[in-house]
Amino acid sequence: MTILHPSEVSVYSLLGRQSSSIGDPEQIHLEGQSAGAHIVHQLLHHAARQAPSKAPFVTAFLQSNAIVANPVDPAFKNDQFRQLCVALGVDANLPDVLDVLRDTSKVSTTRLIEAIQSMGASGIFRGVTGSDGWVRSDEMEYQRSGGLAEGLRSAGVKCVIMGDVLHEVSCSFRKCTISLMKQDDFYQRAYPCRSIDDLLPNLERFYRPESARSILVSYPRLVDGASIGEVNRLQGRVSVDL
């Protein structure tokens, strides 16, 4: 089940329309940072799967994020979906609940953002597998096998560049301010730990529990009695690395 129309679908269809009506269709370039890079990576997977149909872009640039694990199935996110509905005051059991969530006259963008911000460790949303073909369960296997690269070449994508940035942009919508901060600091503030027990739940925002545990044990273990500052520095380091 898809909660909302995936942003990837909107971007992809927009690219297709724009490349045929405005400018040079051979000069459409994608760039994404952080969550945007995650979306660009999903667009790359979709373009490769659609080959030999031509992709509506020729290059892609991903900064400070990418898809590094297979997506989960919808059932894994049912509790999160219900938490979102509770935060919005919407009945999750309505037969047309997805249409309600998509209707901005019923659920405004501002209201949706505020609801997600109130969800704590459950406030991270990523695509789940579905029958529409946009998010598939074997993305990492497809990528490792060379299928992604071969599909992109067949779809006319000329190059993909992946990199990292030193700073993240921190936005305060209520105060209308934008600031730059080092990535470690950004993630320490975005997902602060109150104790060492918060490290694993913070990782579980993004990954399955078993994957989160495997990631965490690959880092040096904090000593007993580690300070909150040390815990948060580790949290920031792990988040930046991933």
Local confidence pLDDT in tens for the 242 residues of the chain: 233 334 555 566 666 655 555 567 788 888 888 888 888 999 999 999 999 999 989 999 998 888 888 988 888 888 999 999 999 999 999 999 989 999 999 999 999 989 988 887 788 888 889 888 889 999 999 999 999 999 999 999 999 999 877 666 555 445 445 455 566 677 777 778 888 888 888 888 888 888 889 989 999 888 888 898 898 888 888 877 77
CA atoms within 13 Å, Cβ hemisphere of 50: 18
pLDDT tens string 109-155: 999 989 988 887 788 888 889 888 889 999 999 999 999 999 999 99
The pLDDT score that the predictor gives to residue 11 is 60
The pLDDT score that the predictor gives to residue 20 is 54
Exposure b/e, 47-83, CB count within 10 A at least 16 = b: bbbebeebbbbbebbbbbbbbeebbbeeeebeebbeb
Q: How many CB atoms lie within 10 A of CB 125?
A: 16
Q: What separation, in Å, do the N-terminal and C-terminal C-alpha atoms of the chain show?
A: 27
DSSP-assigned letter for residue 156: T
The pLDDT score that the predictor gives to residue 173 is 45
pTM passes above 0.85: no
The pLDDT score that the predictor gives to residue 150 is 97
The pLDDT score that the predictor gives to residue 153 is 97
Q: How many CB atoms lie within 10 A of CB 159?
A: 10
